[in-house]
Chain A
């Protein structure tokens, strides 16, 4: 379905490749849904909880009564009687010292969670698929740099191991020991009250050995810190994706590896060992984003990329900006030139617009003046001039027209 299924080499307990190889089971090509894994892991983790509660008698073992109003005290129920510190103290309320808590914890709290079978299986399948991706296993924090292949498949000889010493030897030979060393160095005291509740130390998880038949594997490997043991038929999500995060380092035995196809099915064939189960369908058949984006079918439909965004340009005034004006109206330059020439010509011959206007003004003044004066024809006009103290009177007889003409210059 999603991709090809290559051959996976089988390694012996000395870390050498035997000639044999197994086809990668289809599980490893299932969609890796970390959200489902996280959810299911979260729900599953609640299932090992033990009930805890507060005693229902706690804080209620008094016969306290409120004193009521009018006694200059708060209306909280108070312990009756006398002769001891306790008398008159507040009781029952969650705010009172020695009172019952708010909402006393009950045993019948829902401690466990039901999870849909399909979801549980989906999560496991995703976890298995993720364990076959080296980058995810590295991201989880396992030291697999020295491991020959991921997924790591060992011969069934492993299942017959009896001694832990031999088990350690195998782990060393296949390059998994660095992961165990990591576990050793991660051992530290737990933070919190668990310290005093027999859960003193905490350490990382190492590889998980998945076997088909236990001929001593469990006992051989169980004392190695960090190692988990799982039977193929009963895989545990809490061990396959510890902390809700996919990508635990898995060491398969050959028969366990071969059983996966029968357990989980391939898409074309249902699972034989689980009732009515087949691998989940991925949403995208080809999720290679790089190839998709470059594919011709997609590129041909895309619009051209906007490499340079057109920004708002400031509007310039063409009446002032000559460049803009000539762009809008190529004739404007010609017009401007014409007006400039006529202005210059006028300035030289004295016939500019201003001079013409001025001349016109003078003529109007003159005509008005003559009209005024012609009504008082040839009469002595006395001009009185006050020069200091003496007033001088001079009489002027004017012939109006001529005198005026000389004034214009």
Chain B
């Protein structure tokens, strides 16, 4: 009863010089003022950061464009110079594959099921980037009748990431609608934007595993124009197995 009396006389200033303001109100005002100052400072800092980052991203993207071109032209140059000398240029075996799960859930052999689970291909028409080495190639062989895979080119990768790219943030499937999503997850590996991500995947870099794991398995459409025959290997007029560069054509129809 007596403690509420204090609240009653608030800022109503009497004729006297000092007005009685309750302590609670003063505390609250101070707190809010502090918070506001902190917020404004953070805002200013954030805009500065943003500007700087944008510049960095721009420079990187520029650099990547020239890098890709250089790679392409290098390959052509080597081939041509070898041919001129009646020699052969054997280009490196591809190190990146894109794997798509062709078949559904029902009646899968347990070994194949395990492999597909390890590849994070738990659903039909799910796609994943895979680094090619002895281990993974053998895995792909085990799961062969269930997957269509090949060597994606730059356009395929970009289309996949821009159109169908979702990242794993806080165990949730987050759309890549802003670079901050990528930066938060992969910032420590120096991947801060879409172009960085594309670059890491295309040139299978040091942090390929982290980058590819950050990406949620791509959920693709059924191919426009249809499959040939899912029950057969691509080499036999079907769809499953390694179709090397023809995966790009398939991806145009599926993304």
Q: Which A residues are closer than 8 A to B by beta carbons?
A: 3-4, 6, 288, 291, 294, 296, 313, 315-319, 324-325, 327-332, 334-335
Contact = CB atoms under 8 A, between A and B. Distances in A.
Contacts of A327: 178-179
A317 B163 contact: yes
Interface stretch (B53-61, B100-108, B134-142): B53-61
Interface of B: 1-3, 24, 27, 54, 57-58, 61-62, 65, 159, 162-163, 175-179, 193-195
Contacts of A294: 24
Contacts of B62: 331, 334
A116 to B, nearest CB: 33
A319 B162 contact: yes
A319 B176 CA distance: 13
Contacts of A324: 177
B126 to A, nearest CB: 18
Nearest to B194: A328
Nearest to A325: B162
Nearest to A313: B177
Contact of B57 (A291, A317, A330): A330
Given A6-B1, A331-B195, A318 B61 contact: no
Top 3 closest pairs, chain A to chain B, by CB: A331-B61, A315-B175, A330-B58
Contacts of A319: 159, 162-163
B177 A296 contact: no
A315 B177 contact: yes
B178 A328 contact: yes
Contacts of A330: 54, 57-58, 61
Contacts of A4: 1-2
19 contacts: A3-B1, A4-B1, A4-B2, A296-B27, A313-B177, A315-B177, A317-B162, A318-B162, A318-B163, A319-B159, A325-B162, A327-B179, A328-B179, A328-B194, A329-B61, A329-B195, A330-B57, A331-B57, A331-B195
A335 B65 CA distance: 9
A319 B242 CA distance: 28
A332 B27 CA distance: 51
Contacts of B159: 319
Contacts of A291: 3
From A3, A4, A317, A318, name the one whose CB has the most chain B CB atoms within 10 angstroms.
A318
Contacts of A332: 61
A328 B175 contact: no
A329 B65 contact: no
Contacts of B162: 317-319, 325, 328
A329 B177 CA distance: 11
B22 to A, nearest CB: 10
Most interface-central of A315, A317, A334 (chain B CB within 10 A): A315
Nearest to B179: A328
B224 to A, nearest CB: 16
Nearest to B64: A331
B58 A331 contact: yes
A16 to B, nearest CB: 24
A1 to B, nearest CB: 15
B139 to A, nearest CB: 31
Contacts of A316: 177
B174 to A, nearest CB: 10
B220 to A, nearest CB: 14
A331 B65 contact: yes
B1 A329 contact: no
Nearest to B25: A294
A217 B123 CA distance: 88
Given A294-B24, A315-B175, A329 B163 contact: no
B60 to A, nearest CB: 8
Contacts of A6: 1
B144 to A, nearest CB: 32
Nearest to B58: A330
A166 to B, nearest CB: 35
Contacts of B54: 330
Nearest to A286: B3
Given A6-B1, A324-B177, 14 more contacts: A288-B3, A296-B24, A313-B175, A313-B177, A318-B162, A318-B163, A318-B194, A319-B162, A328-B176, A329-B57, A330-B54, A330-B61, A331-B58, A335-B65
B172 to A, nearest CB: 11
Nearest to B63: A331
Contacts of A313: 175, 177
Contacts of B163: 317-319
A296 B27 CA distance: 8
A332 B58 CA distance: 9
Nearest to B175: A315
Contacts of B57: 329-331
Contacts of A318: 162-163, 194
A329 B178 contact: no
Contacts of B1: 3-4, 6
Nearest to A300: B31
Nearest to B158: A319
Contacts of B24: 294, 296
A114 B3 CA distance: 42
A6 B58 CA distance: 75
A323 to B, nearest CB: 11
